[in-house]
Each structure stands twice: as C-alpha cells, then as structure tokens.
C-alpha cells in the first residue's frame, strides 16, 4: 500500500480565497489547481478590459460618423460634443477601475506563480528571466511546462506538498 494520499483539487472559490489570503507570500508551494484558477480570474478580467476598449473604439467610430453628418449644424454639434465628453468621463473612470484592479492582482499573481514554481522544485527567480529580451518567449514556454508539471510528491526545500499527504508507516 502506498504511503502517499492525494488530496482533491481546489475549486475556483478555494483557489481565489487561498491566493488572496497569501496576498504577497512568495514562500511555500501552490497546487496546479490554485495557480490555474487564479490565472482564469486574470484572463476573465483581461477580457473585460479588452471589451471596454472595443466598446470605446465602437463608440468613437459612431461619434465620427455623426460628426460628418452634423458638421455645419451648431446645435447638433454642441449636443454631440456634450455626449462625447460624457463618454470620455465614463471611459476614463472604467480605465481607472481596470488599472486599480490590475495593481491589486499583481502581487497575488506573482506570489502564486512563484509558489507554483516551488511546488515543482524550481526557484521563483525563473520569473525574472522573462524580462530578458529575445529569449523571453523561450523562457515563457519553459515556465508553461513547469506550471503544467505535477507537484513533487515529497517535501522539497520549499516545504511539504500541498497536494500529497505522506502517511506515517503503520506497523
């Protein structure tokens, strides 16, 4: 009988709760499910940010078409200008909210990435290699492979496995 017990994967909620509890913790280990669920949150928020940008571009195109139609009508032009200013305020407010959310997620994202590398027995310093120009694409692929790797079953220099529990030998 094997002396290692595998624990169940984390749910989306558990992963987010764990990542925010360990907001700026760069020590220890993180399971694959914790890392990937937090990545899903980041991807969803990125898609929302792009949607805001696409919305702005569509509105801008709409306003440009209306400007061409009312160019010589001062009343309509004034109304269109007021509408554009209102749109700008809303857009910049949304951009500010997106920026604040991105800043709030930066440390937990880095923390869970470092802990995930620790879980596979790798140093968190690998993340710094992504800032090297030209080779950063290759490093990103290597990091993806590390992130996809299963946890080390046994404790490593970064701590005990969060996925596997070593059962004491019973005689």
Neighbours of 13 (CB within 10 A): 9
What is the residue-wise DSSP string for 99-155?
HHHHHHHHHHHHHHHHHHHHHTT--GGGGGGGGSTTTHHHHHHHHHHHHHSPPPSS-
**pLDDT higher for 132 or 85?**
132
Residues of the chain above pLDDT 90, percent:
51
Lowest model confidence (mean pLDDT) among 8-12, 45-49, 77-81: 77-81
Which residues is 164 bridged to in the sheet? 6
Residue 136 has a CB neighbour count (10 Å cut-off) of: 13
How much is the pLDDT for 31?
93
């Amino acid at each position: 009988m094997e002396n290692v017990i595998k624990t169940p994967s984390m749910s989306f909620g558990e992963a987010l709760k764990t990542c925010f509890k360990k907001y700026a913790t760069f020590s220890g280990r993180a399971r694959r499910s914790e890392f990937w669920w937090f990545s899903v949150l980041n991807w969803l928020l990125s898609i929302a940010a792009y949607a805001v940008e696409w919305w702005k571009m569509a509105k801008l195109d709409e306003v440009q078409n209306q400007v061409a139609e009312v160019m010589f009508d001062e009343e309509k032009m004034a109304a269109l200008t007021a509408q554009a200013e209102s749109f700008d305020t809303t857009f910049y407010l949304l951009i500010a909210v997106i920026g604040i959310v991105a800043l709030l997620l930066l440390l937990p994202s880095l923390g869970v990435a470092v802990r995930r590398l620790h879980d596979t027995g790798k140093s968190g310093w690998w993340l710094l290699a992504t800032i090297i120009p030209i080779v950063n694409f290759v490093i990103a692929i290597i990091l993806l492979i590390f992130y996809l790797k299963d946890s080390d079953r046994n404790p490593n220099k970064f701590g005990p496995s969060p996925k596997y529990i070593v059962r004491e030998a019973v005689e």
